[in-house]
Copies of this chain bind each other. A is one copy, B any other.
Amino acid sequence: MAMKVVLAILLCFVACESLVSAQESERRRFRFTTEAQQCKLDRIQVRPPSRRIESEGGITELWDEADEEFQCAGVGAIRNLIRPNSLSLPKFHNAPMLVYIEQGEGFMGMNYPGCAETYEAQSTQSSRSTRRMGRRIGAGRSGEDQHQKVRRVRRGDMIVIPAGTVQWCYNDGGEDLIAVAFMDLNNDDNQLDLRMRGSFLAGGIPSESRREIRGSKSDDLVNIFNGFDQEFLAEAYNIPTELARRMKEERSSGLIVRCDEEMSFLTPELEEEELSESPFSRRGEDSNGLEETICTARVQHNMNTQREADLFSREAGRVNILNQLKLPILRFIGMSAEKGHLFPNAQHNLHWSMTDHRLVYVIEGEAEIQISDDYGNQVFNERVSRGNMFVIPQFYPALARAGQEGFEWVTFKTSNQPMKSPVAGYTSFFRALPLQLLEQSFQITTAEAQQLKQTRRQHTFLFPPSSSSRSRSRSRRA
């Protein structure tokens, strides 16, 4: 009982926080009014990307933000595959993003205007960086460079990118780097429309190299310098016209380019980085919110760390939650995320989100998922698998059962402190309700009502496989 109270208090805290902190959220929603704009989701679908842009150094896939569910939720999604020794060119977007590194590792740069160039690279720093020196002919003090922080990213990392912030990503690893990005278009930081807009600061794609999966727009996508007259740029920057022309140039190599030679960036040792992710340093951050300035804000969190799991069951699986209490910058971005792993045949409790829309991306395995609308209509009943993406709208109840190989997913949420309401189990509606009320509501006996109150009583969201599913799975295997 004591434990129960403690858990209850902890859970209350989360619930309470979600209201208290709402005041600090950047989350601001618009509402639809005309027929065309309503969230009339008779059927929710697993959506494949609608556009695919092949570049020299990788592939960019875009989900169509005009799809019914995406539009209702006001979200967008992009998947980038960056080949080894390739660079996703610098760009900024019109809405805040959460980027999940699905595979590989590399460097990621994010540039805030006005932050100091706090990384000093010197020629003696590393053998790799000296290798490049040969090319630095003509530079004043050859071999020296100062720039803003460059981050090391790896599989499992979630990175927060504020709206309008320039970012780039370089794959220095041996395998393809795959990054899945979630944009919250209906965020207050985006005062434009609900279109995904990426503004490139270099590169560009010739129209013929873009392959439309569904027939949509095919404008030229070139870098922003193309919008300015060459000599105007040259004068503004006090540079030769030829260099200004070079900047504007649409590169046939596209949005992701293969680099002439391997790049290496100064980063602190990996061990130190790990250290800074210890619970102690994080606690320090909580007390300050943004530490000193946005320039030093933590924007990165690894979602794969098992010892940091927020829900954990030896029989059912685990869930890592990333919210504003873990990563304070989320407080100002109005988003959060969750990464989960269900063991084979385990289930995720029937529940609805009280606070946000969710975009689910399947990383591994399979699951059967059912979603209901407010009228009790089944709007989704699919077996989802790797690479699938779908929306679960706010207030829509959902239920999931992992397949034979288990189920691993990442969920992006449009709230910085989300709250879920489960139907059964430890913190559920069934347990909260007086017994008599269950009896009268469902016209059942006291015994049945007690069965509902007691079912899965020790579990919250993750249910171990039931005996029936185990036998079913056995029979299937047979």
Contact = CB atoms under 8 A, between A and B. Distances in A.
Given A15-B113, A246-B444, A444-B246, A263 B23 contact: no
B8 A114 contact: yes
Contact of A452 (B73, B132, B239, B332): B239
Number of copies: 3
Interface string A19-32: 11011111111111
Given A9-B293, A113-B429, A227 B376 contact: yes
A249 to B, nearest CB: 8
Contacts of A189: 22, 355
A347 to B, nearest CB: 5
A90 B433 contact: yes
Interface string A171-201: 0000000000000011011111111011111
A223 interface: yes
A466 B448 CA distance: 66
B236 A401 contact: yes
Contact of A350 (B71, B236, B289, B446): B236
Interface in A22-67: 22-34, 36-39
Interface residues of A, number: 188
B194 A33 contact: yes
Interface in A192-238: 192-195, 197-204, 219-229, 232-238
A243 B374 contact: no
A168 B421 contact: no
Given A16-B292, A147-B432, A234-B468, 7 more contacts: A12-B294, A39-B195, A113-B429, A119-B434, A200-B376, A219-B377, A243-B451
A77 interface: no
- The list of the 6 closest CB pairs from A to B, nearest first, reads A227-B372, A11-B114, A164-B354, A138-B447, A30-B30, A8-B116
A356 interface: yes
Contacts of A374: 94, 197-199, 224
